[in-house]
Structure 1
């Protein structure tokens, strides 16, 4: 009290004229009136009276007592002026002792009111609702604490259904005005410590309860995280992703606004309160991703690590702005460390993924030349990575790709082309695809039939191109990359047709309409029958999963073989061999038969295992 109200006597070197008796009498009279007015209302609200039988329990700041609340705060202000006057002129006066006692009583009452307002208007002071107010709706420091406030139109806006902090949909700013008025009175009277203590206890309890409701486990330290099964930890991560968004977007901003407004007379106190209230909970929140980043790193965990990195990165502007004081620097450092550790973890997992592709141990071939599991796994993985382009750009920006030799132009395009792959993310993903394709080349060589090797390569590269087209990889790799690889698919298909059906084509004459001896005609039909049946039977178990590619191959085969066979059949199949009694066994297929057989080709059914011949006039039964 002395430190606040008792002022040092004037310097002896400084001469002050004596106050006139009239002035002293007037001032004393005024101060006496202030003390008496204060005593009247302070005493009234300190103990029961005839007019106010429950004043000790009633709220001074309720709607029905709002006029008395004005008088109460005004009397405290007048009492403070009286005490300052008495300290200067009558330091030993009994009036000063009386005024000090009244001030202590008043402060106790205001402490109680401060607590009751927080308790009574718990939901009105919910950070979710409070932080939704625009800066224009916040009460200014100069506004009267008891002025009539216009309703904020934004109070009627519906809440976000996903936010899990309870609270009212409409917010009254009157409680905040009252809290600020009480805080201002207590601070000016030298009771800042008591005011701040109540504020911290109540609001910290609210923040802790809100974080608990969001599922934030403050006991989840590094040791516990590392011992968790991945399935359990993954659930924790998903919950954290929701909790951190609500906390940073709603909970902490609401608390920041509330503390700034309640302690608008003393911003440093408001900052101190906010730091004390939020620090422990925020620290637990931001330590979680850092602890996860220290767990065992395997490629299948990559996407949850990227989710964590993305969440912290996206919220960083709010974190940096909200926790911008020296007292909250630890929170900023923790958030930054989480980004660093998560980035390191992602780079480690990318390296592990690259190594896994290179060391994939499978030596078995895929039946029918279909899609290899490695192709599916790698392309699904990489297409998911492409959804995190912005995050990966941050992570790999300063992490150059090291390869034994420059990548071939078909994978990266011409340096002079505007569509050439150039971003660090594009380069790295193109490199992973190239590693996989090189691995597939080795697997293709395991097939004993060369034509099946080409079909395998066509199938798998078609799958790769399809995944690129259907995902963000198309944006990263560009149209030129897609076009070049589509041409590569066509080349593989052409090689398959040429190698797989070479015997069938070789069995037919180069010029099917030229004059040919009957014996040679018979040989051509016999050779065609054998070559076609052998090739078809072998390829009934082969497969082309992509319907479009399968149709293209069938159409291409038909254009290669059917026109030649049709001309030969029409020239020699009837007229020249009509006299032979075994002509039907020699000419087994009509041109239409070939089309019917090809309709079931490359479906991977392998059901027949052989070709059922039909008469030259009949056609294959369907």
Structure 2
């Protein structure tokens, strides 16, 4: 090592190096006349001799302990840590180094030709080599006591120790007191080791050997971060690897990243930052540079992963995974800002921020594509019987899943508002209400997507040839959408008012269906309360009713209402309008036509028959054999009085 080379033992060169190292300008250390208090006499020769003697004694004292622990003296001293051997002696060693440094200061300024200065220089080199070895031994043999989880559980101490001997001796006790009385033995050991590292680092840095100290620290602690991320499964997140992965492999590594990122940030990186800040608390520049060097490579790769994934189009459930990735970083953002808070480490923080923006941009792009897919759907296939359209099922499945991520979706949309390119007029859109009057961005956008879907379903309804089936189709599909909202997290997102508003629309569609599907049947009967008509007119009413009811039944027996409640409500509503009116007409005119030939053909339905036939409706039954159905086998035949 250059700073420990034999060239520095040369007397003349040694004096020059020391002069430069400790006193770039010797003159600046000499007291000026203005700095001497008035009335004070300059130091006497006796005082100078006394100081000279004290400094020589200091060097001799330091020599005894430094040479004892010279790494070249024996194998034992090379592999044994002073701190593990005898902590009190370790503190004495550090104190001797600091005293030696003071003595060197003295001789550089007072007697630069002294042989004691050369001895002190050689001792300092020996001491620094010892401390360099000591720093390595402490770091390498106490990895279990310096694991990030243990370190991150205690506060970082940014204060530096003074050179006072009393403070050095009581440093361990102070650390213990600060940690509290409830700490375990393992935690106590961890605190002591951290304290030892800090003491050695400060001693080496103050003596001008910071480079050697930092090199060892970076070598060992970088491996801790690398190993930690490897154990978390983050060893294969390089761009080149990800580009070769299929969908299943991408899903696997994405799940691993989501499981690992919180531990990586809150424990691994936070613990390393706190340890680095503690050990190098005496120098802000050193601790920032050191942490940057040990964390930059792997951490930038870690935070770049979401950005790379945002570009992959074959990731299963892509938008949902991207939102999960966005949420993971967002929830850790405060920790990220605190950990990477220096100018050097800001590049790591910027990578995390870049991933956030790329994820948000891709999510917004996918949302716009989804809306565009709804609008562009040109399929002419419609469900038989006015059932639930496949587009409604697939779109609501997607929208319900989006609602499960409404919190992070609101955050994304708040920062990246989406344009509304739909042909739907803004006047048709009603924003979901919220209790505080502030509607989350996700609520607004999901309501807009459902509106776009409803508008497309309106166009699909036009493909039916029968207007009444179109209304039934709209009632079925809107109720399906409302039920999906009510039974999922969408209910919390859109609110009760949205649900109530759309249930009213379902009822309007159902009423329109009834009006268009059954008006002809009802109009075939005389108006309620009308005067008696002639037998011929009565017979005509029966003929018209038979034809209208049979046509309506034959047509609608294959129609379907999947929702049981709506199905029962429709049947009951039709029955209330039709059966009482027919019962009144039936009872009023059946006796008048009693003598008619072929009366059974003329009066084909009794009032009870209507109820039975109506019960067949909306199950999607297909007529196979005349005016009958499998479910109407129990229908009574008309009973004509004798």
- TM-score normalised by the chain length of structure 2: 0.82
Residue 80 (structure 1) aligns with: 101
Residue 604 (structure 1) aligns with: 620
Please state how far the C-alpha of 1:180 moved relative to its aligned partner.
0.6
Does the 8 Å CA contact 1:347/1:396 hold for their aligned counterparts?
Answer: no
Aligned partner (choices 79, 82, 92) of residue 57 of structure 1: 79
The answer to whether structure 1 residue 27 and structure 2 residue 51 are counterparts is yes
The answer to whether structure 1 residue 563 and structure 2 residue 580 are counterparts is yes
Give the whole-Å Cα distance in 2 for the aligned partners of 1:505 and 1:546: 26
Please state how far the C-alpha of 1:554 moved relative to its aligned partner.
2.0
Post-superposition Cα deviations, 1:532-577, rounded to whole Å, max 9, x if no partner, equal 444334333322222222222222122222222333445556x667
Aligned partner (choices 37, 48, 51) of residue 61 of structure 2: 37
Does the 8 Å CA contact 1:465/1:482 hold for their aligned counterparts?
Answer: yes
Residue 615 (structure 1) aligns with: 636
Please state how far the C-alpha of 1:615 moved relative to its aligned partner.
3.1
Does the 8 Å CA contact 2:159/2:282 hold for their aligned counterparts?
Answer: no
Does the 8 Å CA contact 1:130/1:171 hold for their aligned counterparts?
Answer: no
Give the whole-Å Cα distance in 1 for the aligned partners of 2:387 and 2:138: 72
Give the whole-Å Cα distance in 2 for the aligned partners of 1:48 and 1:404: 81
RMSD, aligned α-carbons? 3.8
Give the whole-Å Cα distance in 2 for the aligned partners of 1:336 and 1:593: 72
Does the 8 Å CA contact 1:218/1:284 hold for their aligned counterparts?
Answer: no
1:510-589 to structure 2, matched below 5 A, reads: 510-511=527-528, 515=532, 517=534, 524=541, 527-571=544-588
Aligned partner (choices 228, 232, 256) of residue 214 of structure 1: 232
Does the 8 Å CA contact 1:412/1:420 hold for their aligned counterparts?
Answer: no
Post-superposition Cα deviations, 1:383-439, rounded to whole Å, max 9, x if no partner, equal 333433554454465546344777254432699x99999766555434332322222
Aligned partner (choices 84, 89, 109) of residue 68 of structure 1: 89
The answer to whether structure 1 residue 89 and structure 2 residue 110 are counterparts is yes
- TM-score normalised by the chain length of structure 1: 0.84
What SS does the corresponding residue of 1:327 show, helix, strand or coil?
Answer: coil
Does the 8 Å CA contact 2:479/2:506 hold for their aligned counterparts?
Answer: yes
Gaps of 5+ in 2: 1-16, 162-166
| Alpha carbons of structure 1 residues 9 and 491: separation in structure 2 relative to 1, 3 Å | closer
| Alpha carbons of structure 1 residues 119 and 14: separation in structure 2 relative to 1, 3 Å | closer
Does the 8 Å CA contact 1:47/1:55 hold for their aligned counterparts?
Answer: yes
What SS does the corresponding residue of 2:83 show, helix, strand or coil?
Answer: coil
Residue 161 (structure 1) aligns with: none
Does the 8 Å CA contact 1:584/1:615 hold for their aligned counterparts?
Answer: no
| Alpha carbons of structure 1 residues 216 and 504: separation in structure 2 relative to 1, 3 Å | same
Does the 8 Å CA contact 2:471/2:513 hold for their aligned counterparts?
Answer: yes
Please state how far the C-alpha of 1:487 moved relative to its aligned partner.
1.9
Post-superposition Cα deviations, 1:36-65, rounded to whole Å, max 9, x if no partner, equal 32222223333799xx99444333212x62
1:190-589 to structure 2, matched below 5 A, reads: 190-217=208-235, 220-221=238-239, 224-296=241-313, 301-386=318-403, 387-395=405-413, 397=415, 399=417, 401-403=419-421, 407=425, 409-412=427-430, 425-471=442-488, 473-474=490-491, 477=494, 479-511=496-528, 515=532, 517=534, 524=541, 527-571=544-588
| Alpha carbons of structure 1 residues 202 and 48: separation in structure 2 relative to 1, 3 Å | closer
Post-superposition Cα deviations, 1:181-239, rounded to whole Å, max 9, x if no partner, equal 11111112221111111111111110111112222246622x55445433432333332
Gaps of 5+ in 1: 157-167
Give the whole-Å Cα distance in 2 for the aligned partners of 1:219 and 1:511: 80
The answer to whether structure 1 residue 125 and structure 2 residue 149 are counterparts is no
Give the whole-Å Cα distance in 1 for the aligned partners of 2:598 and 2:585: 18
| Alpha carbons of structure 1 residues 47 and 499: separation in structure 2 relative to 1, 3 Å | closer
Give the whole-Å Cα distance in 1 for the aligned partners of 2:181 and 2:535: 99
Give the whole-Å Cα distance in 2 for the aligned partners of 1:107 and 1:566: 113
Does the 8 Å CA contact 1:208/1:281 hold for their aligned counterparts?
Answer: yes
Does the 8 Å CA contact 1:286/1:335 hold for their aligned counterparts?
Answer: yes
Please state how far the C-alpha of 1:319 moved relative to its aligned partner.
2.3
What SS does the corresponding residue of 2:344 show, helix, strand or coil?
Answer: helix
| Alpha carbons of structure 1 residues 208 and 425: separation in structure 2 relative to 1, 3 Å | same
Give the whole-Å Cα distance in 1 for the aligned partners of 2:429 and 2:315: 27
Give the whole-Å Cα distance in 2 for the aligned partners of 1:523 and 1:393: 69
Does the 8 Å CA contact 1:589/1:614 hold for their aligned counterparts?
Answer: no
Give the whole-Å Cα distance in 2 for the aligned partners of 1:217 and 1:371: 48
Aligned partner (choices 129, 134, 149) of residue 113 of structure 1: 134
Give the whole-Å Cα distance in 1 for the aligned partners of 2:356 and 2:151: 30
What SS does the corresponding residue of 1:412 show, helix, strand or coil?
Answer: coil
Does the 8 Å CA contact 1:421/1:427 hold for their aligned counterparts?
Answer: no
Please state how far the C-alpha of 1:455 moved relative to its aligned partner.
0.9
